[in-house]
Chain A
Amino acid sequence: MTDRPLKQIHLAAHFPGVNNTTVWSDPASGSQVAFDSFRHLAATAERGRFDFFFLAEGLRLREVKGRIHDLDVVGRPESITVLGALAAVTTRLGLAATVNATFNEPYELARRFASLDHLSGGRAAWNMVTSSDAFTGENFRRGGYLDRADRYTRAAETVALAREFWDAAGTGTVRHQGPQFDVEGTLSVPRPPQGHPVVIQAGDSDEGREFAAATADVVFSRHSTLAAGQAFHADVKRRLAAYGRKPDELKIMPGVTFVLGDTEEEAVERAAGIRRAQVSPATAINFLEQVWGVDLADHDVDGPLPAVDPVRDSGLVQGRTSLGDPLEIAAKWRAVAAEKGLSSRELVIEVTGRQSFIGTPASVAAQIDHHVQSDAADGFILVPHLTPGGLDDFVDRVVPLLQERGVFRTEYTGTTLRDHLGLPVPGRP
């Protein structure tokens, strides 16, 4: 990497989600649903010249032991509608909505994202997720179960079909027959300003990586170390050539948290306090139950991990991404707890954190720059732990340092999200 010019960093702001990363017990924690909260965080991101603003989605409230999970922030508005409103109070910031391909039809998705792209002057992005669980399906016509193996088939055909609709917009009718869809339709919306709204995809599995290489403009990944990031980056970029794509045509942006302090010690101390707030005793038990699959309400979280072995496929916790095979995870967690002498709660704090940049503004700027210049990422999706002020310090204190380093824009140079990401407007086939 010695002779090449500095890579420019891409940054996005994730509105704090409905999980325990978001600390609601802090007195500074505001509404997770009032429009002013969205306006504040989006305005902050635009002031920081971020590439885009990101909204997550979950289509069923999580349940534990057949009851609504009540420990985390819960309740959020519908993404595309919020972004339509934010388009009125921002001028350059990209606007990304997570929308499920399992519980929406391609024609409607294509029309809604084309509409958002027009209303925002070319700033729309679609984070495409899929779901196979019957639990979420209980809220929808489509209902129950999409076979897990069909998830990516449906996802790929959904994106391909949406792009057919965008390409034909204003000129003609799409006739499509595939394994998942047999449709014929004409959008009433002209071709979107970006040609195709930006497609974002999450998913670290082999199948997910291949799908991203074939289809996505941005990958929202999750990895814990520089080395893991580099391995992921190299692997996904390597796959692009098979689809006739160049490495620059796909941006890899892991989700990360961050904690700032005036000194390294202060930042570390503050980060530990945030982790304790994120993992209350009740939340620690909830995480253990998610793996163990049994009721652990009476477990002492200040003592060791449960002595019993986990139960597979108990269905105790619903509406939450699986962490993996319970027996393997329990074995791994026991090893970590034994090695470091951790209580149950300390163990959960230790193993459930996201990749986090912790330090002074200067050291956080240096870490981010180092990850990008070392090809562990092309940029990051920052996940603040506070709504709506959680990004303020980063924009005020870290962004100027990245700009001084010459690795982040000081002004927007284009008007569309594709411009910010350096992605060309796709030609019509």
Chain B
Amino acid sequence: MPRQLHLSAALDSPGHVDAAHFTALAGLAERAALDFVTLDDSYAAEPLRLDALATFARLAPVTRGLGLVPTVTTTHTEPFHTSISVNTLDWVSEGRAGWLVGVSDTEAEARAFGRKGAAPADELWAEAADAAEVAVRLWDSWEDDAEIRDTATGRFVDRAKLHHIDFEGPRFSVRGPSITPRPPQGRPVIAVTVTAADLAPDAGPGGRARVATAARYADVVLLDAPDRATRLTAATELRLRGGEALRILARIPAALPDGAAADSLLTEVTEGGGGVDGFHLLPADPARDLAALADRVVPALRERGLFRAGYTGRTLREHLGLARPASRYALAATIPSPASAASAGNPTATAEVTR
């Protein structure tokens, strides 16, 4: 059987603020059995849109298999709130949540909060890495079996399995533990968008910091590259940096006004290539293009044995073929060696142990 593709799509629909619109789009994406959908977000005045994570929470009970990966920014938000919000999306979707990490780089967004000024991209992505570190530690801060409900001793939790995270960084410190128990997936899927230019030898400090964050924390990279050759170079570099478990999906436009466009997309996706695991589709008109995807492109991919006929797993990690990571604190307790203490600072490394 040929290698299975991973497919996802952006639901971005500037100007739409009604739940019915997004419910209809999610229905199409789910009919196509896409791995996940994304929804962009920022604190800019335009375009008109709702909070992305809240919108996807609204979709969770009306979908069954679809992964839900909203953008949540890290520049003006509290890392603690980000962690528990993504965690909660995982609870309400029963294991289908992800987090597309974003930053806020405009002065206008900074003024809306009034806490600090705009900062350069390298600083923003270093801060995003710290926010991801805090999020992961907080998800891990409740071991999976922390809740014991032991009536004999009157204890609801085993406090030895709840952990302070004691993160201290230059921008914030967080004590923990989380107020929300470990999410169904252990760690919701972390995604970062990277461009080939960020990976080039002459990349600027912002690009390099973004790649560093992706390499260390991402389970999925959404890769922007202008052509197949560049994509291959970039994907190879990313895999070297981020490890073999990293899922790389190429971001490609998906305007499908007619059959010819759909066939053209089918050809592009079928040829695959560029060293990626699949594609993240960017519809021009989501309602039209997702319908064409579900009705025309995906069935053809299924005929060729390149894409699943329906969901075989329950969680987003299962769709992506990613193992459920153990809590770093549970690992630390079972392997009390200096090596595990060192790797406890690196969730990617810790996750590798369990894969």
**Residues on A close to B: CB < 8 A?**
24-25, 33-35, 38-39, 58-61, 67-68, 70-78, 80-82, 84-89, 103-105, 107-108, 111-112, 114-116, 118-119, 121, 138-143, 170, 173, 181-190, 280-283
Contacts and interface: CB of A to CB of B under 8 A. Distances in A.
A77 B43 CA distance: 24
Contact of A139 (B62, B77, B115, B174): B174
Interface string B169-212: 00111111101110000000000000000000000000000000
B154 A282 contact: yes
Interface string B148-172: 0101011111110010000000011
26 contacts: A34-B91, A35-B91, A61-B177, A67-B159, A70-B157, A75-B147, A75-B157, A75-B180, A75-B181, A77-B91, A78-B85, A78-B87, A81-B85, A82-B91, A82-B92, A85-B57, A85-B92, A107-B113, A108-B77, A115-B51, A118-B50, A139-B175, A140-B174, A182-B114, A183-B111, A186-B108
B342 interface: no
Given A138-B175, A140-B78, A140-B80, 17 more contacts: A70-B159, A84-B57, A85-B57, A85-B61, A85-B92, A88-B19, A108-B43, A108-B76, A112-B54, A116-B54, A138-B173, A184-B111, A185-B111, A187-B45, A188-B48, A281-B154, A283-B154
Contact of A119 (B48, B50, B87): B50
A410 to B, nearest CB: 27
A137 B88 CA distance: 21
Nearest to B157: A70
B314 to A, nearest CB: 14
A112 B18 CA distance: 15
B41 to A, nearest CB: 9
Given A35-B91, A59-B80, A107 B17 contact: no
A194 to B, nearest CB: 14
Contacts of A89: 61
B170 to A, nearest CB: 12
A185 B149 CA distance: 47
A186 B45 contact: yes
Nearest to B23: A88
A241 B52 CA distance: 40
B112 interface: yes
A74 B148 CA distance: 11
B58 interface: yes
A77 B84 contact: yes
Interface string B129-159: 0000000000000100001010101111111
A426 B115 CA distance: 30
Given A68-B177, A112-B54, A190-B48, A78 B81 contact: yes
Nearest to A116: B54
A344 to B, nearest CB: 16
Interface string B18-56: 110001000000000000000000111111111101110
Interface string B85-98: 10111011110000
B107 to A, nearest CB: 10
A60 B19 CA distance: 32
A59 B58 contact: no
B59 interface: yes
B58 A85 contact: yes
Contacts of A34: 91
Contacts of B158: 70
Contacts, number: 193
A124 to B, nearest CB: 10
Contacts of A190: 17, 48
Contacts of A81: 53-54, 57, 85, 88-89, 92
Contacts of B177: 61, 68
Contacts of B114: 105, 181-184
B43 A107 contact: yes
Contacts of B320: none
B254 interface: no
The 4 A-B residue pairs with the shortest CB-CB distance in the complex, in nearest-first order: A185-B112, A84-B57, A186-B45, A183-B114
A76 B179 CA distance: 6
B83 to A, nearest CB: 9
A75 B87 contact: no
A247 B147 CA distance: 46
B113 A33 contact: no
B60 interface: yes
A75 B177 CA distance: 10
A259 to B, nearest CB: 21
Contacts of B174: 138-140
Contacts of B172: 140-141, 143
B179 A60 contact: yes
Interface centre among A105, A141, A183 (most CB of B within 10 A): A141
B11 to A, nearest CB: 14
A284 B53 CA distance: 41
A24 B156 contact: yes
Nearest to A137: B175
A103 to B, nearest CB: 6
A73 B111 CA distance: 40
A192 to B, nearest CB: 10
A58 B179 contact: yes
B43 A111 contact: yes
A119 B78 contact: no
A60 B80 CA distance: 10
Contact of B180 (A78, A115, A119, A173): A78
Given A61-B162, A82-B88, A77 B157 contact: no
Contact of B88 (A24, A77, A111, A138): A77
A76 B183 CA distance: 11
Contacts of A76: 179-180
A155 to B, nearest CB: 17
A75 B58 contact: no
Contacts of B62: 88
Contacts of B88: 77-78, 81-82
Nearest to B59: A88
Contact of B17 (A141, A189, A280): A189
Contact of B156 (A72, A88, A121, A186): A72
A172 to B, nearest CB: 10
A174 to B, nearest CB: 9
A24 B149 contact: yes
B106 to A, nearest CB: 11
B58 A68 contact: no
A73 B156 contact: yes
A70 B269 CA distance: 53
B154 A71 contact: yes
B54 A115 contact: yes
Interface string B303-331: 00000000000000000000000000000
Contacts of B45: 173, 185-188
A144 to B, nearest CB: 11
B51 A75 contact: no
A104 B162 CA distance: 25
Nearest to A67: B159
Contacts of A73: 156
A118 B76 contact: no
